[in-house]
Copies of this chain bind each other. A is one copy, B any other.
Amino acid sequence: MKKPKNSAPKLDAGANEPELDRRKTSILGTVVYEYIATGEPVGSATLTQKYNLGISPATVRAELASLDEEGYLDQPHTSAGRVPSDRGYRYYVDRLMLPETLTPEEREHIRAEVRRASHQLDSVVDHASHVLSNLTRSIAFAIAPRLSNQIFRHIELIRIGERAVHIVLVTNLGLAAQTTVETSHEMSADDLVRASNSFNEELQGNALVDISMDALTKLARATSLPDDLVRAIAMILGEHSETDVERRLFSGGAHNLLDQQEFRDLRNLRAILDLLEEQQTLYRLLHNSLQGQGARISIGHELPNADMSECSVVTIPYKVGDRNAGAVGILGPRRMQYARLVALMNCMADSLNTLFQGEASHGS
């Protein structure tokens, strides 16, 4: 029942763990499987009755006790069955879990949903997280692709009030960012059009990462834009957003937690909701996943926050062109269907990859 793996971090963990003998492995796998399916602690009787292990309950008990001692299983209380510990889940995820495949319908559904909101980066990502949260009945969260390696196509400065300008940035991927800025003195609509035009002529086709602050200020001086407006443009072009931990986190499906029996306790629930609101922690998880490839699973105490010790998170990065540019994640109870979630996440990442791959190659 040994299992190959699908991502970098797991290899490490897998390599560190001593390998369990065949029978222990089989029992551990079965316990995890059964517990994920039922949510009830698993006892020796259940195991021998429902699964054809070819050994007696007594033997199973001995093995369970041993696995318990080695830290792969926990016992909620003396007269209860066993429940996987973080370590148990980890072993399962690294070595035992069978990769699952989605039905063509599911696959197509995801792909279609992602495509539906294309052309608006924020919408795509927001939509993606909602789709995932519905499919998994967990919380899904995501960050939009970072701008740096997108290519400048167009900037539009729209006068929306006496001293208010709305800035819209279009890149090869579509509508990439927009913001409203209050300017210190009034700009005429014509001024703004003129400015937009020179920005557009000058910057057209450049990767955003290549646009220097110098170039911007020079352009700004030529078009006599007020400082605050220039600053806003610089911001939006990513000069600053690269280090910006405030990059917005999109999320959906918080209400799904209500269905999970592990969140009956309102304190847990509250802790997780606060976490969602705070954004930082989840943002960092996604940001970290940008370093690696493929789905990454974090279980219970492996997560950076004690309030998440009852949860697991699956994250996966997606690419723009050939570099990781954003990521999506799922947050649910530790007792989650890891195999299925990994399959879903892979599909989602693929869909985003091809979407952004495709769009990236089109031109204006």
* CB pair A160 B164 closer than 8 Å: no
CB of A223 closer than 8 Å to a CB of B:
no
A306 partner residues in chain B, CB cutoff 8 A: none
Knowing A180-B120, A273-B255, the reply to whether A170 touches B174 (Cβ < 8 A) is: no
Oligomer: number of copies: 2
Per-residue contact bits, chain A 299-320, to B (CB 8 Å; 1 contact, 0 not): 0000000000000000000000
Knowing A180-B119, A189-B364, A258-B270, the reply to whether A359 touches B161 (Cβ < 8 A) is: yes
CB of A162 closer than 8 Å to a CB of B:
yes
Per-residue contact bits, chain A 247-264, to B (CB 8 Å; 1 contact, 0 not): 000000011001000001
CB of A82 closer than 8 Å to a CB of B:
no
Per-residue contact bits, chain A 99-136, to B (CB 8 Å; 1 contact, 0 not): 00000000000000000001110010000000000000
Interface size on A, residues (CB 8 A): 33
A269 partner residues in chain B, CB cutoff 8 A: 258
Interface of A is mostly: mixed
Report the nearest B residue to A255, measured CB to CB.
B273
CB of A266 closer than 8 Å to a CB of B:
yes
A160 partner residues in chain B, CB cutoff 8 A: 119-120, 154, 170, 174-175
* CB pair A174 B156 closer than 8 Å: no
- List 7 additional A-B contacts (Cβ < 8 Å) besides A120-B160, A154-B160, A158-B168: A118-B161, A118-B164, A119-B161, A123-B180, A160-B175, A175-B180, A255-B270
